[in-house]
Amino acid sequence: MLINPRTGEAIKEYLQEPFHALLIVGPKNSGKTDILESIVRGLTQTEYTAYPHKLVIDGKTEGIDQVRAIKKEFSYIFVSQNPAHSRIIIVKSLDEISRESHNALLKIIEEPPAATYIIATTSNKAGLPATVLSRMKQIEILPIDELSATQYLTAKNIEADQARNIWLKSTGLASKIKHYAQQESHSESVELAKQFLSTKMYSRLVMVNEIVKLEKTDQQTVINAIFDILYFKLSKTPESHKIIQKIQLAEKCQKMLRESVNPKLLWLDLSLNL
């Protein structure tokens, strides 16, 4: 995960000794959601999206709905001795929830039910009541340092000079670093897709060895670019059965890669049949 080492240490310490109420503090685009999901995974030993005992409240929703959701969640008793089977209450943008919701949460924080964790995020700590802040453990998301950013970006095959430019442009915000990296990766993927389509079969087979070294998401981007290029060609020559067959093959490969089929086998299949 792309993170400042000191923030990483704070997360590690929290997971070793979890507190019932945690506030993740960081500016917009600092990666609060990624860190929140990572902490939930650490507590529950389960993928965030798959964990069933969680309630997610968005501070941007209507206040009365927030209060109802909180009251409904705590209308039944949840008992577990295992932290991996705890009830997790997630509040995104805590500073934006209504006063009634603050009061409802404060009562829960002051008298926490058994086997329950409240994890909240905020971009504006100053907008929160002191009574809430004083009862929550806090993790500050620090800016990404140049070394961490460079290591993350060069692992994605981005040149060191360009990696430094991305870090400077991002002002150390994790989400911006990832966004700029994705833009860079997409540009390279389009060029790779063009080369893959225009070259002869033997050269494509050679290219496969390099493509399979890419991360799965980057391989998906290359296949998506191949798909888009073929569709553009089809728009120019709509009666081309050969292009239609290639599109169907690319579509099959998209699906196979999503289903975690051996990447090398599907790239070899694509190389031989394009």
Tell me the per-residue pLDDT of 43-73, one tens digit each, with 9 for 90 and over. Answer: 998 888 888 888 888 877 656 666 666 667 6
pTM of the model: 0.67
Please tell me the least confidently modeled range out of 58-62, 153-157, 176-180, 223-227: 58-62
The per-residue pLDDT for 75 is 61
Amino acid letter for position 180? Y
Q: Which residue has the higher pLDDT, 165 or 189?
A: 165
The per-residue pLDDT for 238 is 66
At residue 149 the predicted structure's pLDDT band, cuts being 50, 70 and 90, is very high
Bridge partners (DSSP) of residue 87 are: 116
The per-residue pLDDT for 71 is 65
The per-residue pLDDT for 18 is 92
| Residue whose pair of structure tokens reads 């209504």 in the numeric block | 98
| Residue whose pair of structure tokens reads 């000191």 in the numeric block | 6
Taking only the tens place, the pLDDT of each residue in 207-218 is 988 888 888 878
DSSP class of residue 78 equals -
Q: In a 10 Å sphere around its CB, with 0-12 CB exposed, 13-18 middle and 19+ buried, how is residue 199 labelled?
A: middle
Amino acid letter for position 250? A
Q: Which residue has the higher pLDDT, 237 or 47?
A: 47
The per-residue pLDDT for 66 is 63
Rounded distance between C-alpha atoms, residue 269 and residue 257, angstroms = 12
Please tell me the least confidently modeled range out of 27-36, 77-86, 148-157, 221-230: 77-86
At residue 144 the predicted structure's pLDDT band, cuts being 50, 70 and 90, is very high
Handedness of CA 247, 252, 257, 261 (dihedral sign): negative
Rounded distance between C-alpha atoms, residue 210 and residue 188, angstroms = 13
Rounded distance between C-alpha atoms, residue 19 and residue 212, angstroms = 42
